[in-house]
Structure 1
Amino acid sequence: MQKGKADSISIISSLPEDVALKIASLLQVRDLCALGCCSMFWKELCFSDCIWESLVRNRWPSLSSFHFPSSSSTHSPSFEKLFVWKIGLQKWRKLYLERHVELGVRARSVVKFLEACSRSESLEVGDYLKAVDTLIGTMFGFEDVQRFLFNPQMNVLINLVGVHYCLTTLGIPGDNLVEALRIHEISDRRVCVRWWKVGRWYYGFRMRDESHSRWVSLADLATEDDEHVLGVLRRGAVHEVLRVQISVVGRPSKPWSCNSYTEIN
C-alpha cells in the first residue's frame, strides 16, 4: 500500500466520531452521498439516522411529529445521536428518499395538469388554484418548489404557481423568495393577470362588466409590490369578480367558451 494512502486512511480512522459526524452534518445531500461512497467508515456514518433525521426535518418543517418516525434523540447531531448511529437504523434515510420520489411524481402531475390547461398560454384561475391546492395537500417544502417548479425551461405559469404557494402557504419572506427566483433565473419573467368584475348599477341600469388587466413579474409578486394582483389570484372568481385569467405576456387570452376540465392525477 502506498504511504500517502495509508496515512490518509489512518487520519480518517483516528477522527473522533463526534467530529466526523459534525463534518457529515454540514454537507448537502449530494455531497453527503458522495462522501458515503469513500469508505466503509463514511458509509456507515453518512447513511445513519442521526444525519438523515435533521435533513428530513429541515426540508419539510411543516410536517407534524405524527408523520415522523418516533425518536428520543434531539434534532441536531450530538453525542446522544451516536448511539442511534451504532444501532444502524436507516428509517430516516428511507423516509427522505421515499418522500423525495413521491414529491417528484406529484410535481410532474401538477406540471402536466397545468400544461394541459394552458395550451393557448393562458390559464383560468380555477385550474390555477386547483394546482396550488395540490401542493398544499402534498405539503411541498421550499426546496421542493425550487427543485421541481422553478425551472426556467418551464412555462412561466408553472413558476407562478410555485411563487403563489411559497407566499400563501409556506410564508417564505419576500427577500428570500426573490433570491431563489434570481438564482433560478426566473425573477424577471412576467405574466398578465386579467379579471372581469360585475358592472356597477347606475340609476337602475347595470353598466357593462368591467375588465382589468395587469402585467407583473414574479419578483414583484414575491415582494408583494403589487398586492392587489396577488389578492385577486388568492380569491379567484368570487362575489363581484366573474372571471380571472392568467396568461403569458404577449399571448392572446382564451375566449369565454374555452374552459378546462382536466383533472390532476
Structure 2
Amino acid sequence: MNQSDPCFLTSLPDDIAHKIVFLLQAPDVSSLGSCSRTFRDLCGLDSVWLGLCRDRWPSQEIVQDSLKGWKGSYINKHMEMTEKAKIVVKFVDQCFSNESIEVGYYLAAIENLRMFRFGFKDVEILFFKPDMNVILNLVGLHYCIGWLGVPVEDVIEALRCTKIPDREVCVRWWKLGRWFYGFRMHDESRFRQISLKDLIKGGEDEVMRVLHRGALHEVMRVQISVTKLIPVSSWATY
C-alpha cells in the first residue's frame, strides 16, 4: 500500500498514530492534521500542543488559552516571539554599514535575545534561516553557546538541519601594538573568514573569545562582516 495514501494513515492503530503525532514538531503536526478527519482530531488534542509548548519553552510558564486551548497558547506565544525577533532584526539592520557591524552593536543584539528570553528552539526557528543576513545567524549561534549553554553538538545539528553550517562571516579585530624596549610597535590587524560550523567546533577559540569580549583592553575594535549581504525576508510560521 502507498504510504502517502490517506487511507494508509487512517488505517494505523490508534496507539501508533498517537506516537507519530507526539514525535512531530508544530509545523508537521499542523500539516498532518490536514490529511484526514482522524488526524485533524488527533493533531488538535490539547495534550499534543501542551507537549509542544513545554518542549519549546521549558523554562517559561505558558498559560492555556481559555478559548483555543493549548494550540492557541502555542500560536500566541510563537507570534509573540516572532514580533520580538523582528525587533532584533530591525536593530541589526539599522546598525549595519557597508555589509559589516561593529561588535558593540553585535553584543547588544545578543543581549536583546537574553532580555526577550529566547530559547534554543526559538533561535533555531527564527534566526537559523538560510535567507537571513548571516550576522543574524551568528547572533543566534553565539547566544545559544555563550548564554544558554547549549551543547556544541546540538547547535551544529540545528545548523545542519536548517542548512546554514557552511555560511561564512569575516571577523576583523585591531590590537594595540606591543611595547618593546620602551617603544610601542604598530597596532596589529587580524582577521578570520570562517564558517558558522567551524567557529564553534573549537578550532577558532581566539575568534570566539574576541567576539564574546568585544572591544576592550588590548583590543581596540572588532568588526564582523559578510562577503554578500542577503536580505532578511523570511519568517517561520508555527
Provide the rounded CA distance (Å) in 2 between the counterparts of 1:235 and 1:115.
22
Shift of 1:55: 0.6
Coordinate RMSD, CA, aligned: 3.0
2:225 alignment counterpart: 247
Distance in 1 between residues matched to 2:191 and 2:17, nearest whole Å = 57
Corresponding residue number in structure 2 for 1:58:
55
Note if contact 2:128-2:162 (Cα within 8 Å) is conserved in structure 1.
Answer: yes
Q: Which residue in 2 is equivalent to 1:47?
A: 44
| TM-fit CA distance, 1:204 | 3.4
Q: Counterpart amino acid of 1:165?
A: Y
Residue 177 of structure 2 corresponds to 199
TM-score by length of 2: 0.78
Identify the residue that residue 75 of structure 1 maps to in structure 2: none
1:180 Cα shift?
2.5
AA in 2 matched with 1:201: W
Count of aligned pairs: 220
Q: Map Cα deviations across residues 8-56 of structure 1 (whole Å, 9 max, x no partner).
A: 9x979xx76x7765453233323323454543x7555533432222111
Post-superposition CA distance 1:82-139 (Å, at most 9, x none): xxxxxx9754333211110011112222222222222311110011011111111222
1:96 to 55, 67, 74: 74
Aligned counterparts of 1:27 and 1:179: Cα–Cα separation in 2: 17
- Equivalences for residues 11-160 of structure 1 within 5 A: 21-36=18-33, 38-39=36-37, 45-61=42-58, 63-64=59-60, 67-69=61-63, 90-160=68-138
Mapped partners of 2:228, 2:79: distance in 1: 36
1:225 pairs with 2:225: no
Gap change, CA 1:69 and 1:217, over 3 Å in 2: same
CA contact (8 A) 2:95 2:101 kept: yes
Runs of 4+, deviation exceeding 6 Å: none
Structure showing greater Rg: 1
Structure 1, 183-192 or 25-34: larger mean CA deviation? 25-34
Alignment partners' CA distance in 1, 2:56 and 2:160: 20
Deviation at 1:146, TM superposition (A): 2.4
> C-alpha offsets along residues 150-188 of structure 1, whole Å, 9 cap, x if unaligned?
222222212111211121123333233223323333222
CA contact (8 A) 2:100 2:224 kept: yes
Structure 2 CA distance, aligned partners of 1:35 and 1:183?
Answer: 20
Determine what percentage of the aligned residue pairs are the same residue: 47
Give 3-state SS (helix, strand or coil) of 2:137's partner.
helix
2:144 is aligned to 166
Distance 2:28 2:88 in 1: 29
Q: Is the 8 A contact 2:99 2:228 kept in 1?
A: no
Task: Give the letter aligned to residue 146 of structure 1.
Answer: E
Cα distance between partner residues in 2 of 1:130 and 1:244:
14
Amino acid at match of 2:185: M
- Structure 2, unaligned runs of 5 or more: 1-6, 230-238
Q: Return 5+ residue gaps in structure 1 as ranges.
A: 1-6, 71-87, 252-265
Counterpart of 1:171, as a letter, is G
User: Aligned letter for 2:25?
Assistant: Q
The residue type paired with residue 247 of structure 1 is: S
